[in-house]
């Protein structure tokens, strides 16, 4: 999943603000699902959300305005009450790639009122088929 | 440091989006410094920034629109090339308080071009006097 | 209503990004209502939202990180299907005040599904009592 | 220029927050320039910014999470000290298109310190060649 750093995402250090990365991770998760034939919108329409319960990011190098980024997403853990994703954010510049950040998010399926629920069976089955070995959580 | 959850910070789960917490942590750091007589703006004017190099957040309960939040900040580590802060975000409702999130950030002093530098001596000395024992990093 | 410009709200021009002002206007509306004994949260809980249907902002001077801002809100028009607010954003620096922006928003009461509805009678009556003469819409 | 509404851009009305549109307009301007062979990043590197001096948006219909949007940009006015762009934000759903918002922004070229300057001649010449007749400012 590729995206460009928006001007609004920069701060006065002339780099992308560190909270922007958190938004990019989410956008990358949504596209990762879409590539597998699932729309997160549909899951929400069924009344299930994947609430973020944990987040860690290791920032290695700055992202700058207009940089083209590539976000690699991996599903590290898939249980009925717990999902865990790993991410690598890279800057793409022609043939060059530089790792800007590593991250991990942990999710809990919830219903519309925010209560923890089990992930619907078909989603869980699908998810398990997409598990990928990944690096350990970033050292924050 | 207290703040109110803004409407713009909510998402369609009807809770504050998890990236908003990251912005609140930063605002709380700035106020924590101000209470100690330092303005982060002055540090930046001297050409030194405290770049965020690591971030971890454990989300325990949702923050909602218009909730009044109290953010407790502690300086956990103060070295010339590394600062570490711990945070507790609580919802305040009259006499009741509920912990919504625990977090930690790690910082590297940088110059205006983003290169790692040593924290100016007077800042480091002051920081060391403000160290507080704190809980271990949240289990993300 | 006073607030401080957050670091996350700056951009690489070293000023507050122009979209931040839009968020501040909303926060100021919510506080304006609270000062009059109404919580916007309660209106939403009754199933009524004040959807933004129009927005104009004239930016006169930049807001910078850590600036203390004062936002003056006036209700310019109150009809069952149309509300209009005017705003003046000022920077407060001791006794000095400088106008940074003028703005106006137009709102349509909607139900939870987004359909236009009439503003509940008690809200409309209250609103009418708070009408204030204000300047014409900013010249954008 | 197309983009997808991000989850983080929604609010508890279950629609994209009205400040998100302002960020989209900016992203669309940057792409509009890129399609014409100019990178806004290069202009900034030359020390010239196109500060936003005026903004108006007319919101006609809600944008929702995951909607695919198409933003049409037109340069309405190009003078050495004043640029004006018009926008139409549409939702694209297969062959269907619906107008969600009309907008206009006015810009003043500034130097790095925020002072108004003249637009560099080569930029102004290029800009004049891209002027397009457009609709009048949206009725906010």
C-alpha–C-alpha distance, residues D107 and C58, integer Å: 11
A-D interface: how many C-beta pairs under 8 angstroms? Answer: 39
Structure tokens at A117: 């629920």
User: Is the pTM value of this prediction over 0.95?
Assistant: yes
For each of chain A's 140 residues, which pLDDT tens digit applies? Answer: 999 999 999 999 999 999 999 999 999 999 999 999 999 999 998 899 999 999 999 999 999 999 999 999 999 999 999 999 999 999 999 889 999 999 999 999 999 899 999 999 999 999 999 999 776 678 88
Q: Cα–chain-centroid distance for residue B115?
A: 22
pLDDT at C136: 66
Cβ-defined contact of B55 to A57 (cutoff 8 Å): yes
Distance between CA atoms of residues D30 and D71, nearest Å: 12
Q: DSSP H helical segments within D9-58, as ranges?
A: 18-35, 40-45
CB-closest option in A7, A8, A11 to C7 = A11
Distance CA B21, CA B5 (A): 10
Please calculate the CA angle A23-D17-A108 and round it to the nearest 5 degrees. 45
Q: For residue A134, what pLDDT is reported?
A: 73
Q: Measured between beta carbons, which residues in chain A are less than 8 angstroms from residue D39?
A: 66
In this complex, which chains have at least 3 CB pairs below 8 Å with chain D?
A: A, B, C
Residue corresponding to tokens 């999470």: D65
- Which residues in chain B are contacts of D10 at CB distance < 8 A? 11-12
Residue C108 tokens, joined? 């349509």
A18–B contact, CB cutoff 8 A: yes
Average pLDDT in chain B: 95
Would you kindly state where each structural domain of chain A is located, as residue ranges? 2-129
Cross-chain CB nearest to D53 (options C54, C59, C110)? C59
Mutate to test the interface with C, among D17, D18, D23, D77 (most CBs of C within 10 A): D18
CATH number of the domain located at residue range(s) B2-129 in this protein: 3.10.129.10
Distance from CA of A35 to the nearest CA of B (A): 23
Which tokens go with C74?
């006036």
Predicted confidence pLDDT, tens digits, chain C (140 residues): 999 999 999 999 999 999 999 999 999 999 999 999 999 999 998 899 999 999 999 999 999 999 999 999 999 999 999 999 999 999 999 889 999 999 999 999 999 899 999 999 999 999 999 999 776 678 78
Q: Do B22 and A18 touch (CB under 8 A)?
A: yes
Residue D136 forms contact with B (CB below 8 Å)? no
Whole-angstrom CA distances from B125 to B78, B128, C18 are 9, 5, 38
Q: Does A22 touch chain C (CB under 8 A)?
A: no
Asked if the C-beta of C112 comes within 8 angstroms of chain A's C-beta atoms, the answer is: no
Angle between helices B18-35 and A18-35 (to 10 degrees): 170
Mutate to test the interface with D, among A66, A68, A112 (most CBs of D within 10 A): A66
Average pLDDT over residues B128-133: 92
Q: Which two tokens stand for residue C137?
A: 């819409």
Q: Do C4 and B26 touch (CB under 8 A)?
A: no
Yes or no, beta carbons of D8 and B17 under 8 Å apart: yes
Structure tokens at B49: 């920034």
Identify which of B15, B55, B140 has the shortest CB distance to residue A18: B55
Contact criterion met (CB below 8 Å) for C85 and C76: yes
Which residue in B71, B72, B69, B82 sits closest to B110, CA to CA? B82
Chain A residues close to B13, C-beta within 8 Å: 49, 51, 110, 114
Closest Cβ opposite residue C66 in set B4, B23, B39 = B39
Among residues B69, B76, B74, B75, the alpha carbon closest in space to that of B99 is found at B69
Distances from the Cα of D24 to the Cα of A58, A108, B93, angstroms: 28, 30, 36
**Rounded-to-integer distance, Cα D66 and Cα D89, Å:** 15
A114 and chain B in contact, CB less than 8 A = yes
C117: exposed, middle or buried (Cβ count in 10 Å: 0-12, 13-18, 19+): middle
Nearest to D106 among C114, C137, C140 (CB): C140
Across the A:B interface, residue pairs with CB atoms under 8 Å apart total 73
Question: What average pLDDT does range B99-123 have in this prediction?
Answer: 95
Alpha helices (runs of H) in A36-118, residue ranges in sequence order: 40-45
Residue D83 has pLDDT above 70, yes or no: yes
Q: What is the distance of C-alpha A94 from the center of its chain? A: 24
Kindly report, residue by residue over B59-95, the tens digit of the pLDDT.
Answer: 999 999 999 999 999 999 999 999 999 999 999 998 8
- Distance from C-alpha of A23 to C-alpha of A19, rounded to nearest angstrom: 7
Q: How confident is the model at residue D31 (pLDDT cuts 50, 70, 90)?
A: very high
For helices D18-35 and C18-35, the axis angle rounded to 10 degrees is 170
- What's the pLDDT at D25? 98
Q: What is the pLDDT of residue B140?
A: 82
Q: Please answer yes or no on whether D137 and C140 come within 8 Å at the CB atom.
A: yes
Mean pLDDT for chain D overall: 95
Q: How many CB atoms lie within 10 A of CB C34?
A: 15
Kindly tell me if the per-residue pLDDT of D133 is higher than 80. no
Tokens encoding D32: 């509009």
Interchain contact, A39 vs D66, CB within 8 Å: yes
Q: Is B19 on the interface with A (CB under 8 A)?
A: yes
3-state secondary structure of B64: coil
Strands (E), B9-95: 49-59, 68-79, 82-93
- Is B10 in the D-facing interface, judged by CB distances under 8 Å? yes
DSSP codes, A122-137: HHHHHHHHTB---PPP
* Cβ-defined contact of B26 to C44 (cutoff 8 Å): no
Mutate to test the interface with B, among D12, D62, D67 (most CBs of B within 10 A): D12
pLDDT of res. D136: 66
CA distance A38 to chain C (A): 25
Distance from CA of A57 to the nearest CA of C (A): 17
Of chain D, the percentage scoring pLDDT greater than 70 comes to: 99
Between positions 78 and 97 of A, the ones with CB within 8 A of B are: none
Chain C nearest-CA residue for B49: C7
């Amino acid at each position: 999943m590729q995206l460009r750093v928006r001007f609004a995402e920069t701060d006065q250090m002339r780099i992308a603000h560190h909270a922007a990365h958190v938004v990019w991770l989410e956008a990358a998760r949504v596209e990762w699902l879409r590539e597998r034939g699932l729309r997160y919108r549909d899951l929400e329409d069924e009344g299930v959300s994947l609430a973020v319960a944990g987040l860690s990011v290791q920032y290695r190098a700055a992202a700058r305005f207009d940089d083209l980024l590539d976000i690699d997403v991996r599903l590290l853990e898939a249980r009925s009450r717990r999902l865990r994703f790993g991410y690598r954010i890279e800057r793409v510049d022609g043939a060059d790639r530089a790792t800007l950040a590593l991250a991990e998010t942990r999710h809990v399926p919830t219903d519309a009122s925010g209560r923890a629920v089990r992930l619907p069976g078909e989603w869980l089955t699908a998810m398990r088929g997409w598990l990928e070995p990944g690096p350990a959580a970033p050292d924050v």
